[in-house]
Structure 1
Amino acid sequence: MSNVSFSINIPTDSNGYFTLNCPYCKNDFKILSSEFKDSEIVDMYCPICGLIAEFNSFYSDKIINKAHNIAKNYAEDLMYQMFKDLERNKNSW
């Protein structure tokens, strides 16, 4: 099976910031989207509690749910196509 990748647009506020959530203290904070795009962030620290973690652990529940929904919809589309193709092949027997 091949790997599939998705691009997920993270919504920003009117000032160009998007919200992150600390995996330790659970507080929300914002980061400027242009700073995020311009650098390759691997580790990040929470500006509230100061603890460091991998950047991807700071995604908010909203962003994680959006990613899960995109992946779920993709999987459902694949299953639909597979069963649709099976139905066509069954009718040609």
Structure 2
Amino acid sequence: MSDMEMKVSIPLDDDGYLRRECPLCLKQFKILLTKEEKGDFVNKAINSYMVKDEKIESGDDNDLEHTCPYCGQKAHSDGWWTQEQAEFFRTIAENMAADIVNETLVKAIKGMSNDLFKVDANEMEKKEVWMHPEINDMVVFNLDCCERKIKIEDEWNGTVYCFFCGFPHEK
């Protein structure tokens, strides 16, 4: 089977920050991606829904963990999508699968009809792919340990953990 390629983008705020969500405490924050991270970030997300029970060999961050800026708990790098982002990528993956089924299996089944019998197959329906635009909320917090920036909730007054290395910062 040939590779499928699709360009997908997810909304960033006006400063270029991407919304993330802790898989444990469910609090949201934003990270500023480097140019290197932007390249295959979305493709890895889609692959995580297309390839199950296999280790994706597209990079060396398969076992990379990040830290929640709020609760300080660690989780694997592919677990930080917001619920809306996860549904967005799931819908894209389902639509890609529907295209494959419709173009191969359904065509083949319909082609089996002859004078003796008629075979009919319905095509899989595709869902609309949509995500809300990103709003400009949260405040910038400098992570001096990694020389990076994140955005956190305005009212957060507790310790802020570095998303990248886990170092605790006092606000």
Rg larger in structure: 2
- TM-score, normalising length from structure 2? 0.45
Higher helix share: 1
In the alignment, which of 65, 69, 73 is matched to residue 95 of structure 2?
73
Query: What's 1:53 paired with?
Result: 75
Tell me how far apart the structure 1 counterparts of residues 82 and 5 of structure 2 sit (CA, whole Å): 20
Name 2:108's counterpart in structure 1: 85
The TM-score normalised by the length of structure 1 is 0.76
**Residue type matched to 2:89 in 1?**
A
Give the corresponding residue for 1:44: 66
Over the matched positions of the two proteins, sequence identity in percent amounts to 28
Letter matched to residue 28 of structure 1: Q
Long gaps (5+) in structure 1? none
Instruction: State the Cα distance separating 1:33 from its structure 2 match.
Output: 2.0
Aligned pairs, number: 92
**Equivalent residues of 1:46, 1:52 under 8 A apart:** yes
Q: Which structure 2 residue ranges, 5 or more long, are not aligned?
A: 39-59, 117-171
Deviation at 1:36, TM superposition (A): 7.1
Q: Kindly indicate whether structure 1 or structure 2 has the higher relative contact order, using CA contacts under 8 Å at least 6 residues apart.
A: 2
- Tell me the C-alpha RMSD between the 2 structures: 3.1
